[in-house]
A and B are shown apart, each in its own frame.
Chain A
């Protein structure tokens, strides 16, 4: 039972354009959401997070939007750069559960 889903396994975007990565979740107890970036042969690197009390969080080129009623979050990267090419995982946690549940990842390719 996949509680966190990323339905797009891959995405290609032109350099300078916006990249939008989507994530859906099923567990209404989740109250903290994160995005990680992963390069081959490396561990996931934290990008940005959002608490369930917010609907938007921005950090430089990265913005995460949370729609609690739809149980949906998205990561916007503007402008996209070739160095952004990686696999992006969304993750969620519920207070006191001591675990992060990960989605299956979306491979982003930014074309120069």
Chain B
């Protein structure tokens, strides 16, 4: 019974394509995140949502558009994919922030060719 699940786990696509990654959490949390782990293994925050509202957008190109249809889902849509978008993308959720831990999905390895 996976707490934070994201699909697909692997995604290989050509430059210029548009793709989406889906994330769902069954923990009842009110805050969800997207993190990017680049080739240097840095885990960097991209977006955070609280109760379906965008709270943080960490200077991510506007080709990346998160969408939260409800508190349990946070999807990531990427337009016009570029080679530099190749990375592992992690979805996470927490109940609030600052006083509790975040739970992470298994990651989506995106490869742009």
Residue numbers of A with Cβ under 8 A of B are 31-32, 34, 36, 41-46, 49, 51, 87, 89, 93-102, 104-105
Main secondary structure of the interface of B (DSSP, over half): strand
B70 at the interface (CB under 8 A from A): no
CA distance A94 to B96 in the complex (A): 12
Known: A34-B101, A43-B90, A105-B41. A98 touches B107 (CB 8 A): no
**Residues of B in contact, count (CB < 8 Å):** 28
In the A-B complex, the 6 residue pairs with the smallest Cβ-Cβ separation, listed nearest first, are A43-B104, A95-B98, A102-B43, A46-B101, A98-B55, A98-B48
Known: A43-B90, A44-B104, A99-B56. A32 touches B43 (CB 8 A): no
Residue numbers of B with Cβ under 8 A of A are 4, 31, 33, 35, 40-45, 48, 50, 55-56, 58, 90, 92, 97-99, 101-107, 109
Residues of A near B98 (CB, < 8 A) are 31-32, 93-97
Residues of A near B43 (CB, < 8 A) are 44, 89, 102, 105
